[in-house]
């Protein structure tokens, strides 16, 4: 091995050692710093992705139209494409109106955010949103939609934040059941097989007689999540050796999120 290679290896080892010595706080700062640098690229990339998706869905609808009726004239296709574009706009207007209504009637102070990236790796269920410290967002703030709970913020940089979803194994939420005194802890699965992840509600009593469809809310214990936020509905219940466990379907469709709200406090 040449001297240059040995020197390079030593420098690599020294920097590696420095990184490995990072504690949680330094790691958080390091992550936030990198996110701050990458924020313009992530936001720009998200915009490009939306444009590509929109073009692709437009082409798909044209393909379908061609299959349905091969004799359609070019003019007719153009009109349909325009119509589709207007429908997209209408859909977005409705969605934003819905979100605005929710924000106005909510008892919480909400910061509206757009999802710019999701699931950055295989083992953590996360989202990246376009709001950060500049918008009064901080770590461990609940993230919701008008339907229910989405997760909580973890890493927060100036302009973007990472949201840990309720479907992640590490996101543990104290929960209570509708029409029952039962309480438990909700957490996600390590790996979700299907598109819709399920949640586990653990530490219930064995006598808990849960019915499918029963709603599960945050209980407010723990300090991060305020009480009364809908987490999901009971799908099934089983008795284990020491406790009862229910499987929940999340109230929010976590795989198709576009807009969310960060709860920054109460009004």
Partner 1 sequence: MIFFGCLLVLVLVAQIAELLIPALPWLYNAHVYIVPVIVFYGAMALPFPLMLALAFFAGVLLDALTVQVIGGRVEISAGSSILLYGVLAGIMHGLRPLFARGRWEVHCILSGVFTSLIVLAQYLMITFRRGSLVFTPEIWWQIGGPGLMAMAIGPIFFWGLQWLGQITAYSYGPERGHVE
Q: Which stretch binds partner 1 (CB under 8 A): 14-22, 85-93, 202-210, 241-249?
A: 14-22
Closest CA to 137 of 262, 224, 27: 262
Residues in the chain: 267
The residues facing 265 across adjacent strands are 109
Residue 8 within binding range of partner 1, rule CB under 8 A: yes
Residue 126 within binding range of partner 1, rule CB under 8 A: yes
Is residue 203 exposed (0-12), middle (13-18) or buried (19+ Cβ within 10 Å)?
A: middle
Which of 208/262 has CB closer to partner 1? 262
Q: Report in angstroms how near the CB of residue 240 gets to partner 1 at its nearest.
A: 14
Site for partner 1 in 144-203 (CB under 8 A): 154-155, 162, 164, 169-171, 190-193, 195
Which of 123/258 has CB closer to partner 1? 123
Which of 224/248 has CB closer to partner 1? 224
Q: How many H helices and E strands in the chain?
A: 3, 12
Using CB under 8 A as the binding criterion, the count of chain residues that bind partner 1 stands at: 51
Spatial contact of 136 and 156, defined as CB atoms under 8 Å apart: no
**Within a 10 A sphere around the Cβ of 205, how many other Cβ atoms?**
13
Spatial contact of 178 and 195, defined as CB atoms under 8 Å apart: no
Residue 71 within binding range of partner 1, rule CB under 8 A: no
Residue 60 within binding range of partner 1, rule CB under 8 A: no
Site for partner 1 in 199-228 (CB under 8 A): none
Phi, psi of 7 (to 5 degrees): -60, -45
Q: Which of 46, 106, 202, 247 binds partner 1 (CB under 8 A)?
A: 46
As a whole number of angstroms, the distance between CA 137 and CA 124 comes to 21
Which of 76/120 has CB closer to partner 1? 120
Question: What single DSSP character describes residue 226?
Answer: P
Residue 57 within binding range of partner 1, rule CB under 8 A: no
Spatial contact of 226 and 143, defined as CB atoms under 8 Å apart: no
Positions in the binding site for partner 1 (CB under 8 A): 4-5, 7-9, 12, 15-20, 22-24, 26-28, 30-31, 33-35, 38, 41-42, 45-46, 49, 117-124, 126, 128, 154-155, 162, 164, 169-171, 190-193, 195
């Amino acid at each position: 091995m040449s001297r240059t290679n040995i020197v390079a290896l030593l420098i690599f080892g020294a920097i590696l050692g420095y990184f490995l010595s990072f504690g949680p706080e330094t790691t958080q700062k390091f992550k936030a710093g990198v996110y701050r640098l990458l924020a313009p690229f992530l936001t720009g990339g998200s915009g490009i992705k939306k444009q590509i998706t929109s073009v692709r869905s437009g082409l798909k609808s044209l393909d379908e139209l061609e299959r349905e009726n091969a004799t359609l004239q070019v003019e007719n296709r153009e009109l349909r494409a325009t119509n589709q574009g207007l429908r997209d706009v209408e859909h977005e207007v409705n969605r934003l109106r819905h979100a605005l209504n929710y924000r106005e009637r909510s008892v919480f102070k909400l910061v509206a955010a757009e999802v710019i990236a999701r699931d950055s790796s295989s083992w953590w269920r996360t989202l990246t949103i376009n709001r950060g410290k500049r918008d009064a967002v901080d770590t461990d703030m609940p993230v919701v939609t008008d339907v229910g709970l989405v997760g909580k913020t973890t890493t927060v940089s100036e302009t973007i934040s990472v949201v840990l979803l309720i479907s992640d194994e590490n996101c543990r939420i104290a929960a209570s059941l509708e029409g029952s005194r039962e309480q438990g802890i909700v957490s996600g699965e390590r790996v979700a097989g299907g598109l819709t992840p399920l949640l586990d509600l653990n530490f219930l009593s064995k006598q808990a007689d849960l019915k499918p469809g029963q709603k599960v809310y945050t209980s407010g214990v723990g300090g991060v999540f305020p009480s009364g936020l809908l987490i999901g509905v009971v799908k099934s219940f089983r008795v284990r050796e020491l406790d009862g466990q229910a499987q929940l379907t999340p109230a929010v469709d976590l795989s198709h999120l576009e807009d969310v709200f960060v709860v920054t406090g109460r009004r």
